[in-house]
Amino acid sequence: MLNGKTVVLGVSGGIAVYKSCDIVSKLKKLGLNVHVIMTESATEFVSPLTFQSLSQNYVVSDMFAEPKTWDVEHISLAKKADLFLIVPATANVIGKIANGIADDMLTTTVMATKAPILLAPAMNTNMYENVIVQKNIEFLEGLGYNFVEPDSGRLACGDIGSGKLANVDTIVSRVVDMLNVEQDLKGQKIVVTAGPTVERIDPVRYLSNRSTGKMGYSIATEAAKRGAEVTLISGPTNLKAPNGLSKYVQIESAEDLYKAVVDNFDDNKVFIQSAAVADYRPNEYSVKKIKKSDDDLVINLGRNKDVAYEIGKNKKDKVLVAFAAETNDLVKHAKGKITKKNLDFIVANDLTQEGAGFKADTNIVKIIDREGSIEEYPIMKKEEVANIILDKVKNIL
């Protein structure tokens, strides 16, 4: 699947340049075509001839050097790339890309490519932790750029901390993963809901649940990798928004979630509803903190809208998927929800099983369709569960 694919490797000036040589060698052994672009400062660490010998392609470094072909080189390389990899990615080159600066062959080609871009930062710990560098990385991630986080350890300068270039095999593995992802959902518009909802009692207290959002975020991540245009509607979590989203909507209450889903209903085809929505909310919100007294506190709760049920009433040609997280009678409850909420299928998991809870990185699920057929799956990573769900969505589409 990798044979014939092209990686354009950008090499910027840092002591970790020598490790890029090993990356070129490993990528070539996997059958990939590799073109190398070096910044002028990178050539002070390793000569272009080294990369030329390893890649078996001309190395480009000077914007104004006599061209080796009649192509406009930065445009030609930008179009050839199935993946654009930058190793090492210095604070300087990250800053340039984040601010749209294209003043050398590397940054100019980055601006011209439509290929996925993967950066592996490497720099001094203080530089890596600098708020400007972190904001630049966060900004680029929000635009869909991918990063391989640096390792921690002893740096070339003698300092110990984060900023050390990630292991070469880790970087190569990430390249392989990105190139092997089939864009089989390209053009499909998918809404994923994730995380808990929060129902406020007073300015201090609220009702919520244990959902961490990991399952929904995994679905959104994998769908974006497979080319879908993903809108993620998320309750409060500690997770970073996945790369490559079309839209990221942060909500708090069940009512917020309902409004966000309705607002995005007409423009999207698929709705995967993994958010853990509160069934009830306080009937009254106290604008001031409720003070403790000697009496018991009674809070009257009112019913929230059932979001999946409400959109199921107007299903049309949409693909609707929901989750059933139960502690007893899993299949019975899940089957009831399919009919009531007009779902195409439901993903059911038993919260009492070890490895299937909210906080875990794994899940154990049963998938039940409209005809009542049940497919059971063993414990697996949530990313794997996400792709099983997306495969079923693809078959329906």
Annotated binding site for CTP: 279, 289, 323, 337, 341
Residue numbers annotated as active site: 157
Taking the C-alpha atoms of residue 365 and residue 362, their distance in angstroms, rounded to an integer, is: 10
Q: Assess contact for 145 and 119: CB atoms under 8 A.
A: yes
Taking the C-alpha atoms of residue 212 and residue 198, their distance in angstroms, rounded to an integer, is: 12
Angle at 206 between CA 205 and CA 212, to 5 degrees: 125
Taking the C-alpha atoms of residue 314 and residue 334, their distance in angstroms, rounded to an integer, is: 20
3-state secondary structure of 323: strand
CB atoms within 10 A of CB 340: 12
Alpha-helix residue ranges (DSSP H) falling in the chain: 17-29, 48-55, 73-80, 91-98, 105-112, 125-129, 131-142, 168-180, 214-225, 254-263, 307-312, 330-341, 382-396
CA distances (Å), origin 149, targets 67, 137, 213, 226, 311:
35, 10, 22, 22, 40
Q: Which residues of 105-136 are buried (b: 16+ CB within 10 A; e: fewer)?
A: bbbbbbebbebbbbbbbbbbbeebeeeebeeb
Burial class (CB within 10 angstroms; exposed 0-12, middle 13-18, buried 19+) of 328: exposed
